[in-house]
């Protein structure tokens, strides 16, 4: 382990970042309305430093962004050389929750519990830096805080790195989660509790005539902040987890107006309550999915107090089209929680959550294969484990494949995967932020068995691998197919057996029809394992974006076209879905910054003094607000056309999104 200290506050963490050369201070005046987002977006995508904006228009408080967005900063945060080292500490914590099998085990557990009880549980204090300044009653004014508006179509200003403290009304047990908070006015907010989250359980358990007290903490040492994002079992206190990861207790203090305790060394606390049955429109919000999550009704938080340090710094994170800082937070979770996953599923060697899958759309798993159909068992295990149950696509490979080397994964899958035989389509719970499903929170799942097949599975693995390697993609035949079917553009990734085609979609089911035609064209589909259809505005040469669209824009049960028999290729229709295709929801807009803000940041880049080029990030054009997805000439009802009612529903408008 590195000889790195653990920070006790955000101020200490900023000092350490500065000393390590991992922080840049922007002293030029900047706006919390979009400008900080555009600056941070560019810096993050160039792997630049953490940013401290010390002169924010309309606020006396600095803003810190991008604090977690590198391997080195993650290591500094946890006091290790690499975040993998934290997994060993956390594994010991979860071992304490396992039942002791014998007297020896029981004695060991008692010893560990004694050490745990005296070293890492929260420690309660009466006086705290976070309460150096206290505002209550009419003095509560959220407008004094540098709460960011991140993206042009956001429904308001958002607290994007909050630690939301609640207590279960039935058990009194503390929960800390990271749920975005939208400012409604000077003293009310909306709390975005998704249905699968523990905070939502606390809200649902609220007495019919009661209130749920809430404390929103903004700014703390990085381990405490990270702990709020962890997918912990409900019976493990996040502050206990933070203490264990830190190696010392988290000091906590009683709130001023609610019966909750919060980290004493935090920067800000917003105290308040949620009244039973009171909801207000929250959103849209430019989310980590790369799209705007649509507006909906969520609980209203009435802020009864704002407390903060005298020299407080506001913490924020920017999410949007991958990659952003949340990629690194997710990577930390992936590494830290591997031992826990292995405790539940012993066959798992490693797993990866590619950023293109935005955490819940793709999981690659390597296993120690021990029996026939073991890969399929592992798929179902992933789909039955905690928040991994929301995973849309699971790819299983053997233990000798590095799941973090996507080229190696693709090469192995090309050799061993027979799409017509080794594919599972299923249904189950899906992340509520997934826009591709017809129903919110549930949809299709895709399982790919990329393991080497055994003789006991009725396969000749060597012969199949040799045949797969020998089958060469017929590029001329595919080019001919593309010309015959009005494909806008295409790319063949022959070494992976992947074809990408883009189309100017003018009618319902056009993508699916193209895939079915390719399935019936033996020459054009030779050597292919996967064919992805995207809209014409997608760059088929940008594999990162194509993967992002393929995972994000598909419901596998609805959008996959399987081979008629063993062999062949699986097709995925990743185009935008239409109402006339049975899609009954509003398709969200891509997240795109305004040209005015881009131009402003271009012109001011030298003022910021940031040691990166400041180049604009690659534009994701998306669909402009109000742009129709169907050409005006295709409005006539018919086999290939859509009626006017469909045209209206297929339009994209702010009004439709609420």
What residue ranges in 209-286 does DSSP mark as E strands?
Answer: 211-218, 251-254, 261-263, 268-282, 285-286
What is the spatial distance between Cα 562 and Cα 444, in angstroms, rounded to a whole number?
Answer: 14
| C-alpha span between 376 and 109 (Å, rounded) | 35
3-class DSSP assignment, residue 424 = strand
Peptide linkage before 323 cis (omega within 30 of 0): yes
CA 606, CA 26: separation in Å to the nearest integer? 11
Which among 511, 486, 489 has a CA at the least distance from the CA of 500? 489
- Upper half-sphere CA count for residue 430 (Cβ side, 13 Å): 29
Closest CA to 115 of 8, 233, 244, 4: 244
3-class DSSP state of 582: coil
DSSP 8-state symbol, 400: T
- Does 168 participate in catalysis according to the annotation? no
Q: Would you say 256 and 271 are in contact if contact means Cβ atoms under 8 Å apart?
A: yes
Distance of alpha carbon 191 from alpha carbon 96, whole angstroms: 33
**What SS3 class is residue 268?**
strand
Q: What torsion do the CA atoms of 500, 559, 341, 241 make, to the nearest 10 degrees? A: 100
Contacts of 175 (CB under 8 A, 6+ apart): 165, 166, 167, 168, 198, 199, 201, 202, 234, 238
Helix (H, G, I), strand (E, B) or coil at 617: coil
How far, in Å, are 339, 340, 355, 428, 486 from residue 344 at the CA level?
Answer: 9, 7, 24, 20, 49
**What's the CA gap between 324 and 528, in Å, rounded?**
32
- Residue pair 525/475 in contact (Cβ under 8 Å)? The answer is no
* Active-site annotation holder among 287, 323, 326, 449: 287
What is the C-alpha radius of gyration for the chain, rounded to an integer number of angstroms? Answer: 26
Cβ-count burial 540-549 (b if 16+ within 10 Å, e if not): beebebbbbb
Q: Is 534 helix (H, G, I), strand (E, B) or coil?
A: strand
What is the CB neighbour count within 10 angstroms for residue 161?
Answer: 27
| Exposure string for 596-632, b = 16+ CB within 10 A, e = fewer | ebbebbeeebeebebebebeebeebebbeeeeebbee
Q: CA 434, CA 323: separation in Å to the nearest integer?
A: 17
| Residues 6+ away with beta carbon under 8 Å from 388 | 341, 363, 382
Give, as one character, the DSSP assignment of residue 496. G
From the list 514, 509, 643, 655, the residue with the least C-alpha distance to 577 is 509
Half-sphere exposure for 22 (CA within 13 Å, toward CB)? 21
Q: How far is CA 411 from CA 198, 400, 421, 494, 572, in A?
A: 40, 13, 18, 10, 19
Tokens at residue 513, please? 């029809």
Give catalytic residue positions. 287
């Amino acid at each position: 382990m590195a000889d790195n200290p653990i920070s006790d506050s955000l101020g200490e963490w900023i000092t350490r970042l500065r000393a390590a050369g991992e922080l840049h201070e922007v002293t030029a005046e900047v706006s919390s309305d979009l400008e900080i987002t555009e600056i941070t977006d560019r810096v993050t995508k160039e792997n630049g430093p953490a940013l401290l904006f010390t002169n924010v228009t309309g606020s006396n408080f600095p803003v810190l962004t991008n604090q977690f967005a590198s391997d080195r900063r993650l290591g500094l945060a946890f006091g290790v050389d690499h975040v993998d080292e934290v997994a060993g500490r956390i594994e010991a914590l979860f071992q304490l929750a396992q039942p002791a099998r014998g007297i020896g085990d029981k004695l060991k557990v008692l010893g560990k519990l004694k050490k745990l009880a005296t070293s890492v549980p929260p420690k309660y204090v009466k006086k705290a830096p976070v309460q150096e300044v206290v505002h209550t009653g009419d003095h509560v004014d959220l407008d004094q805080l540098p709460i960011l508006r991140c993206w042009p179509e956001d429904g308001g200003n958002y607290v994007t790195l909050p630690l939301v403290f609640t207590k279960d009304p039935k058990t009194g047990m503390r929960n800390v989660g990271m749920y975005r908070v939208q400012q409604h006015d000077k003293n009310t907010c909306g709390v975005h509790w998704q249905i699968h989250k523990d905070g939502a359980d606390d809200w649902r358990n609220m007495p019919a005539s009661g209130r749920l007290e809430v404390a929103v903490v903004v700014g703390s040492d990085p381990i405490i902040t990270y702990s709020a994002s962890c997918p912990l079992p409900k019976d493990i206190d996040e502050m206990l987890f933070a203490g264990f990861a830190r190696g010392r207790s988290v000091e906590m203090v009683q709130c001023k107006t609610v019966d909750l305790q919060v980290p004493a060394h935090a920067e800000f606390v917003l105290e308040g309550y949620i009244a039973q049955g009171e909801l207000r429109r929250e959103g849209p919000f430019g989310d980590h999915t790369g799209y705007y999550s649509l507006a909906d009704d969520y609980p209203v938080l009435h802020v009864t107090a704002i407390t903060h340090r005298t020299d407080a710094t506001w913490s924020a994170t920017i999410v949007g089209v991958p990659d952003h800082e949340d990629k690194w937070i997710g990577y930390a979770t992936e590494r830290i929680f591997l031992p826990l996953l292995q405790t539940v599923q012993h066959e798992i060697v490693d797993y990866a959550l590619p950023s293109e899958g935005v955490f819940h759309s793709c999981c690659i798993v390597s296993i120690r294969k021990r029996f026939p159909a073991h890969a399929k068992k592992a798929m179902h295990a992933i789909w039955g484990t905690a928040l991994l149950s929301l995973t849309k696509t699971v790819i299983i490979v053997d233990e000798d494949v590095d799941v973090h080397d996507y080229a190696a994964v693709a090469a192995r899958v090309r050799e061993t995967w027979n799409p017509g035989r080794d594919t599972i389509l299923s249904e189950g719970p899906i992340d509520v932020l997934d826009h591709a499903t017809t129903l919110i929170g549930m949809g299709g799942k895709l399982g790919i068995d990329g393991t080497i097949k055994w003789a006991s599975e009725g396969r000749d693995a060597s012969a199949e691998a040799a045949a797969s390697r020998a089958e060469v993609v017929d590029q001329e035949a595919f080019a001919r197919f593309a010309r015959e079917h009005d494909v806008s553009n295409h790319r063949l990734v022959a070494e992976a057996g992947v074809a990408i085609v883009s189309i100017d979609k003018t009618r319902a089911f056009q993508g699916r029809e193209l895939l079915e035609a390719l399935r019936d064209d033996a020459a054009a589909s030779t050597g292919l394992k996967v064919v992805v259809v995207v809209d014409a505005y997608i760059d088929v040469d940008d594999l990162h974006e194509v993967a992002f669209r393929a995972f994000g824009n598909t419901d596998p049960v609805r959008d996959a076209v399987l081979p008629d028999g063993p062999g062949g290729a699986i097709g995925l229709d990743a185009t935008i879905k239409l109402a006339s295709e049975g899609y009954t929801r509003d398709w969200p807009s891509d997240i795109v910054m305004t040209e005015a803000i881009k131009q402003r940041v271009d012109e001011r880049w030298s003022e910021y003094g940031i040691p990166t080029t400041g180049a604009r990030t690659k534009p994701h054009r998306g669909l402009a607000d109000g742009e129709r997805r169907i050409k005006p000439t295709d409005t006539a009802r018919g086999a290939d056309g859509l009626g006017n009612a469909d045209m209206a529903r297929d339009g994209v408008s702010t009004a439709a999104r609420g």
